[in-house]
Amino acid sequence: MEPPHAATLDLIRDARTRIEPYAKVTPVHTCSTIDHLVAFDAGGPVEVSFKCETFQKGGAFKYRGAMNAVLQLTEDQRARGVVTHSSGNHAGALALAARTIGIPAHIVVPEGAPACKLDAIHEYGGIMTRCKATVPDREATAGRIQRETGATLIPPYDHSHVICGQGTIGLEFMEQVPGLDVVLVPVSGGGMIAGVAAAVKGINENCAVVAAEPCGASTTPRADVAASKARGRLVSDMPPPDTIADGLRAKLGALTWPIVRDKVDGVVTVTEPEIVRAMALIYERMKLVVEPSGAVGLAAALSEQFKGFLRARESPEATVRVGVVLCGGNVDLAPLWATYKV
C-alpha cells in the first residue's frame, strides 16, 4: 500500500494560514488579445486568466514553499539554520525566508546560474557555496555543509512543506477565478504542479490540471514528465533539456511524482521558439516581466497540442476558462548590460 500524498487540500489550507503574514496574494491579469490567440482554431471562445507569481516576494512562487518550510522548524533547528542546493529561484527564496525569521541560510549554487539569481542570494543574506553543475555535485556539497553545520535541508521541490506552500497558488487561483475549467502549470521537479494539482482537484475534481514542459533545443527532444505520464512510471534517466527555461531542468521526485501521476490530467511539451514567442506576447501585450520558465504555461496554451485538448471537450463551443501560472519574473539582464556597458 502506497503512503498518502505529500500534499492534501487540508495541509495546503494550513500552509496558507501559516504563510499569510509573509507571502503576498498575487494578482490575476487578463488580456483579450491572448484570449483570441488561444481560441483560434480551438473550437470555441476562451478566457485566459494569468496568476502572476512574478509579483511574489523574491519575484517567483518559490517563496511560498520556502516560507512554509522554515516556519515549521523547531527552535533547535532554527539555531543551526537551513541548507539547500538550487540554481534558481528557490535559492533566493530560501535565503529571503531564512532572513525573515532571522536564521542562517547556506545556499549551494551550481555553475551557470543566472547572475540575477546570484545577486538575489547575496542581497537576502544567503551564505553561498559554488559547485559543479551536476545533481551529484549539488547533493554532495549540500550534504557536506549539512554535516558541518547541522543545518536542515530544505530541497527545492521534493519536500512536503515546500509542496504544500506552492499549493497555496491553487487555492488563491480557484477563489480569484471561480469556474476555471483547466489550469496550466510549468513543470520541472514538480513541487509547484503537485501542490497546485492537490489544491485544484481538492476543490473541483472536474477542473483539468495540465503540465507545461520544455522539450529543449536539441534534435532529440527531452521531456521526462511527458514520458513518465505516458508510461505510468517515473522516468528519471533522461538528461535535462537544453532550454532557455533554466528553472525547468530538474526531474520529478519521489514525493512529487505520485501526485503528478494521480492528479495531473496531461502534459503539453513546448519548443524554444514557442517559449520565446510567449515571452514576447507577455511583454508586448500584458506589459509584464516574465522569465523564460514563467512563460512556458502560455507557450503551452498557444500550442496545437493544447488546442486539440480544447477541441476534444464534450462542449467545445462553450467558453473555456483557462488559468495559466506565470511562475517567475527574474530575467537575467547581465548579458545586455555587458553588451552595452551599462
- Of 49, 86, 87, 293, the active-site residue reads 87
Secondary structure E strands in 39-81: 46-52
Question: For residue 30, what are the β-bridge partners?
Answer: 49
CA 30 from centroid of its chain's CA atoms: 20
C-alpha triplet 167, 170, 172: angle, nearest 5°: 115
SS3 339: helix
Query: CA 93 to CA 101: how far, in whole Å?
Result: 13
**Which contiguous run of DSSP H or E holds residue 320?**
strand 320-326
- For 181, the grid coordinates are 475549467
Strands 46-52 and 28-30: antiparallel
Q: CA 268 → CA 100, 223, 229, 303, distances in Å?
A: 37, 10, 11, 8
C-alpha triplet 270, 271, 272: angle, nearest 5°: 130
87 catalytically annotated: yes
Cell numbers 536539441 correspond to: 218
- Of 51, 62, 251, 263, the active-site residue reads 62
160 catalytically annotated: no
Nearest CA to 159 out of 264, 237, 86, 246 is that of: 86
Walk across the sheet containing 152-153 and list its strands.
127-131, 105-110, 82-85, 152-153
Query: CA 305 to CA 33: how far, in whole Å?
Result: 20
60 DSSP 8-state letter: B
DSSP string, 75-113: HHHHHH-EEEE-SSHHHHHHHHHHHHHT--EEEEEETT-
Catalytic residue positions, numbered: 62, 87
